[in-house]
Amino acid sequence: MAKDKEAKQQFQLKVPKGTKDWAGTDMIIRDKIFSTITDVFKRHGATTIDTPVFELKEILSGKYGEDSKLIYDLADQGGELCSLRYDLTVPFARWLAMNASVQSIKRYHIAKVYRRDAPAMSKGRMREFYQCDFDIAGTYDPMLPDAEILRITCEIFEGLGWDGKYTIKLNHRKILDGVFEVCGVPKDKLRTISSAVDKLDKAPWDEVRREMTEEKGLDPDVADKIGGYVVRKGGKELLETLKKDEAFVANASAKQGLEDMALLFDYLDVFAVLPRISFDLSLARGLDYYTGVIYEVVTEGSAPSTSEGQKVQQRAKKEGKDKARDADEDGSSDPYVGVGSVAAGGRYDELVGMFSGKAQIPCVGISFGVDRIFSITKARTERAKGAAAVRANEVDVYVMAFGGKGFDGLLKERMEVATTLWDGGIKAEFSYKLKPKLAAQFKSAEAGGVPLAVILGADELAAGQVRVKELGLPDGHADKDGVLVAKARVVDEVRERLGRRQGASAAGVGVGVVEDEVARLSVA
C-alpha cells in the first residue's frame, strides 16, 4: 500500500509537450476562427470530406522532403505500419486516387495533424494542431484556380478582422528550379538546396549559405550566385526585371514559371488581391510534392527578430552550448523563434499520380494553421484598447425574477418564459436555484456577457407583462430601466433589440452595474 501511495504522489498530471487542453474563452476564439474559415470555404462552393487520423506509413513516406523526420510513426498493430498524418494534403491525394470517379472537386477539410517538432506553445508551434485545408482538384485553364485560392485567403483574413495586416509571399517552383539550374546546382542537390533556401525566413543569408556549402557540399561560387536571386522580393516590377534577365529567361523552367506568374498577377489584379502579394524568390516550401505556384501567409510575429536572434546564437557559440531555447522549456520567449507562416500551400499536379499510377489530377490548395492564427488573434485582442471581453457563451437573454416578502422564486414562470424564447430560436438561460437572489442572477448574466435580461415580477406577471432590459447601459440612458412588454410579445421584443445590437460587441456588466441594477429593482 505504501508503495502504491508513493507512486501516486510521484505521478505528474500533465498533457504531453506540444499539446494543450482547450476551454473557456480560448474555445470561443477558436470556434469563431473555425466558423469564419468555414463560411468562406462554403461561399466558394466547397464540400467537405474526412479521412483517418493515421495512414499507412508508406502513404506518407517520401512526400515531405527533410520534414519527413517529423512524422509520428506508430507501433506495428496487426501487421500494418502506420503513421499519424503530417498534413491533410497527402491524405486528400490518396482519397482522390482511391475514388477514380471524382475527377474534379472543391474540397475543404478541418482536422488535427501531428508533427514531432520542437514546440513553442505561446506562438502556436505545436505537435498536435488543427489545419483547415481548401483544395481545388481538376483540369482547368491555367492559373484560374490558383487565383481563387489566393482570393479565398484574403477573404478569410479580412473576415478574421486582420484588416490587411498580413502578406502573402508568392513564388513558383519552376522559377526556383530555374534559379538553381542557371546558377549551376547539381540535379542531385536541387531539393536539399531548396530546403536550405526555405529557411531564409528564419535565418540570415550567411547562415543559409553556410548550410549550403559546409553541410550540403555546394560550391561557394554557386551559393553566391543563388544569393543574388533569392534575396529579391517585390511585386510586378520584380517579374518585369526577371523577364529582362536573358540568361534566366533562356532556361525553360524559369521561362514557364514567369509566364504562369504573369497570368496569375493579371487575375489577382481582377480579384483585388495584388496589394497583399509579395513576390519573394526566397520562398521555397520544403515539401517535395509542389510543382508550380507556392505561397505562405505571414504577419507581425510570423518571423523572428533577426537581430536579437543573431545575438542569441552568437552568445551560444561563445559559451559552447545552445541557449536559443533556454528562456523557457518550449521556446516561447526565444527571440529567434517566430510563429511562422499562418497559412501556406501551392500547386501539386503530380501527387495523386504517385498513388494511382494512372492519369494525373492537377491540384492546388492552401492550409490554414488555426493554432498559429489563434495565437496572433488572441494577442491582438488583448492589446486592442477598449476591446470588449470575449464572451464565455453565446446566450442572448438571461431570464430572472425578483420579489419582496413571500417571494417564491417564480421558478416555473422563469422556465415557461425560457421555453418560449427557445421555441423562438433565441439563446436563453435562467438560474437553477428555486429562490435566486437578484444580485446573483445579475452576476451570472455578467459572467456570460449576456446582453439582455427578461425580468419577471409577481405584479407584472399578473398584468400579463415582463420587463425586457438591456444590460450594462450607463446611468441616464433612456432605456436604462428597460421596458414593460406583453408577455406574449417577449420573443418579438427580444428579436428587435438583438437586431439593433447586431454587429456591436456584447457589453460587459461590472460589479458597480450589478449593485445599481439590484438597487433600482428593489426600490421598484
Q: What is the pLDDT of residues 317-363, one digit of tens each?
A: 444 444 333 333 333 333 334 557 899 999 999 999 988 776 789 99
Report the candidate in 419, 381, 382, 383 with the shortest Cα–Cα distance to residue 399: 419
Which has more confidence, 508 or 463? 463
Q: What is the pLDDT of residues 417-432, one digit of tens each?
A: 999 999 999 999 999 9
Q: Average pLDDT for residues 1-23, to the nearest whole number?
A: 75
How far, in Å, CA of 175 to CA of 248, rounded?
Answer: 9
Place of cell 507501433: 75
Within 10 A of 226 (CB to CB), how many other CB atoms are there? 27
Which of 237-262 are b and which e, b meaning 16 or more Cβ less than 10 Å from the residue's Cβ? Answer: ebbeebbeeeebeebebbbbbbebbe
Binding-site residue numbers are 87-89, 115, 131, 135, 285, 289-290
Q: Please tell me the predicted confidence (pLDDT) of residue 221.
A: 93
pLDDT band at 6 (very low <50, low <70, confident <90, very high): low
CA distances from 210 to 16, 141, 223, 227 (A): 35, 41, 9, 12
How far, in Å, CA of 180 to CA of 195, rounded?
Answer: 12
Q: What is the pLDDT of residues 285-316, one digit of tens each?
A: 766 789 999 999 998 655 544 444 444 444 44
Q: Please tell me the predicted confidence (pLDDT) of residue 98.
A: 93
Report DSSP letters for 452-480, one per residue. EEEEE-HHHHHTTEEEEEETTPPTT-TTT
What is the reported pTM?
Answer: 0.78
Cα diameter, the chain: 94
How far, in Å, CA of 379 to CA of 376, rounded?
Answer: 5
Place of cell 428593489: 522
The answer to whether 47 touches 105, Cβ cutoff 8 Å, is: yes
Sheet holding 293-298, edge to edge: 47-48, 105-114, 128-137, 363-369, 343-347, 293-298, 167-172, 277-280, 233-234
Count Cα neighbours of 62 within 13 Å in the Cβ-side half-sphere: 6
Q: Give, for 180, the enclosing helix (H) or strand (E).
A: helix 173-183
Sign of CA dihedral 306, 312, 313, 314: positive
Phi/psi at 143 (nearest 5 deg)? 70, -5
| Straight-line distance from the first to the last Cα atom of the chain, in angstroms, rounded to the nearest whole number | 64
- pLDDT higher than 80, residue 453: yes
Q: What is the pLDDT of residues 350-373, one digit of tens each?
A: 999 988 776 789 999 999 999 889
| Close Cβ partners of 431 (under 8 Å, ≥ 6 residues apart) | 400, 414, 440, 441, 444
What domains appear along the chain, each with residue ranges and CATH number? 16-137+367-389 (3.30.930.10), 397-521 (3.40.50.800)
Binding-site residue numbers for L-histidine are 87-89, 115, 131, 135, 285, 289-290
HEC letters along 233-283: EECHHHHHHHHCCHHHHCCHHHHHHHHHHHHHHHHHHHCCCHHHEEEECCC
Place of cell 486516387: 97
HEC letters along 398-411: EEEECCCCCCCCCH
Tell me if residue 330 falls in helix, strand or coil: coil
Rg (CA), the chain: 29
Q: Please tell me the predicted confidence (pLDDT) of residue 333.
A: 37
